[in-house]
Structure 1
């Protein structure tokens, strides 16, 4: 999204360019220290603007927004944070090598700020931004691809459940046995075998699912470390550039 005409004028009036580089570096420093995969970038910006180095600028920006728009004093601080985010989002995205996810979902308050900002030409329609990219099912597919035994185990579990459903002549009974290890009564070998296969299939699927969750958590942690490394690399380059100048 882009900053609107009035938004650019307000940032210029608040002398944003004097603080821009320092603000970006402090934001990246926070990511390098504790930024985790999926963190809301707006919350990190809010924390940064509350710091002593930037609080006067943030207050000045909020007052100018209140004066030049129809945004109330109570909402001007949130609008100031949003305006800063829209201005530096592309910088952060570049520093993190594109690892900045944009999503549509917003709270009622955020929607109100977004609407008032668009009406006042502070910005175009905004989005929520999070550190890292959301992968969802792709992550699960990646885990199964990297761990072939896990893939074989979960497929085997589903096959056993399907056979159990065939022997029971009931998908419901097979699922109940698989989920709860409940045994359905019956003297025939067919029913006994259905109980055994359904229970075994459920156990295989359950423990494989736990393993997938653990692997997913490790994957998230690994990605968080990669993002922190990107942030540290940027800070080191910025420091070398400053020393050179």
Structure 2
């Protein structure tokens, strides 16, 4: 969906450009802090417009929509949120590298009414709902995490390198994995086996402990703002 001529005029009259950057920054902050897969962009905009910095603009925008369209006062606030969503959708999509899922289904009766009236009034041209976090498969998600987080990448590589050295010294991948996951020690008077025990334990626990401690920061639901 894109904003039509009347929609652009209404946004201009309400002074949207003056607050455009601030609104986008606040939305990105909210999404980055708690935008899990499936979060409705429009709901996040509604929450944002309740904040002191934006409440006057939101009221003015809703009032102008009510005056210039057939959308009544009760629905004008939601229409205002939808109009802003259409205007900034591409900005949000670019910031999150396309991780914005668009759906044409699943709209409520009220949403359909607002969309149809808005289309007739030339606020926008076609109805779309948007949600944070386009679903990825496991391989894509792992690749993205490794690409974006250098510290994670280097730590995991270091951990696996120690496990590989342990496996070489043990002459057994199985023993290295057992030591790494369980800290089980294979008894031996051989210095080589003792070193293998140490390397395997370090390698496995570096990976497990590091990922456990940092998982809240690296999971997709808490992805960082990217410009």
Q: What's the TM-score once normalised by structure 1's chain length?
A: 0.58
**1:28 alignment partner, SS class:** helix
Task: Write the distance in 2 (CA, Å) between the matches of 1:50 and 1:20.
Answer: 16
2:132 is the alignment partner of 1:131: yes
**Counterpart for residue 4 of structure 2:** 4
**1:3 alignment partner, SS class:** coil
**1:27 alignment partner, SS class:** helix
**Counterpart for residue 181 of structure 1:** none
**Counterpart for residue 37 of structure 1:** 37
TM alignment of 1:91-170, pairs within 5 A: 91-105=91-105, 106-134=107-135
**How many residue pairs are counted as aligned between the two chains?**
152
Task: Give the CA deviation at 1:45.
Answer: 0.6
TM alignment of 1:1-245, pairs within 5 A: 1-105=1-105, 106-134=107-135, 222-225=219-222, 228-229=223-224, 231=225, 233-234=226-227
> Which stretches of structure 1, 4 residues or longer, exceed 4 Å deviation after superposition?
138-143
Question: In 1, are the aligned partners of 2:37 and 2:135 still within 8 Å (CA)?
Answer: no
Evaluate the alpha carbon distance shift between residue 141 and residue 130 of structure 1 in structure 2; reply closer, same or farther with a 3 A threshold: closer
Task: Give the CA deviation at 1:38.
Answer: 1.7
Task: Write the distance in 1 (CA, Å) between the matches of 2:140 and 2:96.
Answer: 24
Evaluate the alpha carbon distance shift between residue 13 and residue 33 of structure 1 in structure 2; reply closer, same or farther with a 3 A threshold: same
**Counterpart for residue 150 of structure 2:** none
Task: Write the distance in 2 (CA, Å) between the matches of 1:77 and 1:12.
Answer: 17
Q: Deviations over 1:11-55 (max 9, x none)?
A: 000010000000000111111211112211111111001100000
Cα RMSD for the two superposed structures:
2.1
